[in-house]
Amino acid sequence: MPVHNADIAAQFDRLADLLEIEEANRYRVRAYRRAAQTLRELPESVATMVAEGRDLTELPGIGEDLAGKIAEIVRTGRCRMLDEVAARTPSTLAALTSIAGLGPKRVQALHERLGVRNLDDLARAVKAGRVRALPRFGAAFEARLAAELGRRERAAPRLRISTAEDFASGLLAHLGALPGIEEEVVAGSFRRRKETVGDLDILATCADGPGAIEHFVRYEEVERVTARGPTRAAVILKSGVQVDLRVVPSESYGAALHYFTGSKAHNIAIRRRGQARGLKINEYGVFEGKRRVGGRSEGEVFAAVGLPFIPPELREDRGEIEAAAEGRLPDLVTLSDIRGDLHVHTRASDGRNTLAEMAEAARALGYAYAAVTDHSRHATIAHGLDPERLAAQLDEIDRLNETWTDFRLLKSCEVDILADGRLDLPDRVLRRLDLTVCAVHYQFELSAEAQTERILRAMDNRRFNILAHPSGRLIGERPGYAVDLDRVLEGAKARGCFVEVNAHPSRLDLDDVHCRAAKALGLRVSIGADAHSTVGLRAMRFGVDQARRGWLEADDVLNTRAWPDLKALLAR
């Protein structure tokens, strides 16, 4: 069975959790976590790399030992060391560390003091009010646990878009290998590039529908077939992901692609527009009475109702149909518009590569610049830079910049916003920077009013340029802190600041709704990969997808500009 990067990363994360619960060497634990993150950010299949005999130690943070374990998992699907450690530790304890605020040390305390072994035990302990009595827990933390457990119970499991891509690529390759398949595409929320995906809806054209279905259900990752017919099948993969395949004739491909891409609200609005013209629109085509008048392409569907093509990212029935009818559709930003990355980390803080390595990787992507944004000193867990270390880094950047004529490293820093709204570094240091990327990394528990005022006070400092990951959320792991983002956006516009669309697939922050709110204010955004390795730079595409969902055009994005123009915009 194919082994995905996400599968290996999950095993390393679980191993790290179990080792930390055992109080193993923290550097050993950190090595597994870094390896897991590298694999999640890797834009190619590590299983393919193993099959081709490539040297895995060239990947950031992967030494001989980890490379051997990766190869072992690719070949066998298992890691012997994980099996050995899991045999010593209750297997459900690691699952507890996925709860926001519950690190391995707290999990260990819950296990030893209250006998908590799984999520059900934890829920009972919280309900009985026993958690608050433990040292370093308290009533407020117990209440947050209760809220998080309730949220998880209500939430349907969803995949991050990056994880969904990993599964989708294998499925499409399997289908594409069948002779007779003409088109194969993943539709649904995946094609609309939503930040999370519930399942995968695949559409294919093939003259032999039953043959395509038979080939699909034989995919080696399929665990269970839940529905099957001559042109449709639904399966559950061994990972638990649900996948539907529909095989349609070529003359219906465009209509089916539009229908299964959605959203439901968008489709209803299009059908109503068709009805007003005496047309029937469904997944089989566009019909006038019984006569098919369109449906081979999506363009034919839109043309039938008097509209130009509407990009999939906009199809949420949020005004895109009216805008299309009036000729006001945005010319959405594309990855090729991006001239540089404004959020890049090196090993000086919590990154994995040197300044020179990150610079050369950015140059290879065709960028003209990249902003080095290692953490400031308050972020001790990320080995943040104090004024002296930052000054030394800036000197090194100056030396490196003398070696290029086509590229520039920008001097920056991801500066912590302190609890009182001050910035983590003094102005005498900040004035040497080309720009600052400022962020909230702690005290998430403040009220919305206090958190909003904290950020606005930070923006009052004229050295403040860009607010990084404005809500602080981690998708599927941690909700954002309470904050009035509309006030923050208005405050940024009034002060000449900007906000970020963080492209890391675990963040995608701003969300699409607030991207559009920023556009309405005339507030430009930056798109930053938040790259912690050379491969992490390629996450930029996820940020561009998010920006497109928020109706952003190239002019709405800071880093679509050459450095002289960007520098002028950043000046306060």
Q: 59-69, pLDDT tens digit by residue?
A: 878 989 999 99
Asked whether residue 341 falls in the same domain as residue 311, the answer is no
Mean pLDDT value across the chain? 92
Burial 528-541 (b: 16+ CB within 10 A, else e): bbbbbbbbbbbbbb
Q: Once rounded to an integer, what is the mean pLDDT over residues 169-184?
A: 94
Of residues 22, 19, 39, the one with CA closest to residue 30: 19
Asked whether residue 409 falls in the same domain as residue 537, the answer is yes
The three-point CA angle 18-24-28 to 5° equals: 95
Asked whether residue 527 falls in the same domain as residue 381, the answer is yes
Q: Once rounded to an integer, what is the mean pLDDT over residues 39-51?
A: 84
Task: Give 71's pLDDT tier (boundaries 50, 70, 90).
Answer: very high
Last residue of a domain, one of 267, 293, 325: 325
Q: Say if residues 258 and 187 touch (Cβ distance below 8 Å).
A: no
- Residue pointed to by tokens 């042109």: 231
Q: Is residue 330 part of a domain?
A: no
Asked whether residue 302 falls in the same domain as residue 427, the answer is no
Asked whether residue 123 falls in the same domain as residue 231, the answer is no
Asked whether residue 506 falls in the same domain as residue 429, the answer is yes
Asked whether residue 459 falls in the same domain as residue 393, the answer is yes
Express each pLDDT in 492-535 by its tens digit. Answer: 999 999 999 999 999 999 999 999 999 999 999 999 999 988 98
Asked whether residue 291 falls in the same domain as residue 385, the answer is no
Asked whether residue 302 falls in the same domain as residue 347, the answer is no
Cα separation, 273 vs 261, whole angstroms = 18
Express each pLDDT in 359-369 by its tens digit. Answer: 999 999 999 99
Residue 259 belongs to what domain range? 160-325
Q: Say if residues 374 and 393 touch (Cβ distance below 8 Å).
A: yes
Q: At what angle do helices 5-21 and 104-114 cross, to 10 degrees?
A: 50
Express each pLDDT in 440-498 by its tens digit. Answer: 999 998 999 999 999 999 999 999 999 999 999 998 878 899 999 999 999 999 999 99
Asked whether residue 120 falls in the same domain as residue 269, the answer is no
Asked whether residue 166 falls in the same domain as residue 148, the answer is no
- Residue pointed to by tokens 């528990």: 445
Q: How many domains does the chain have?
A: 3
Q: Is residue 369 part of a domain?
A: yes
pTM of the model: 0.82
Q: Is residue 247 part of a domain?
A: yes
Where residue 12 sits, what CATH number does that domain have? 1.10.150.110
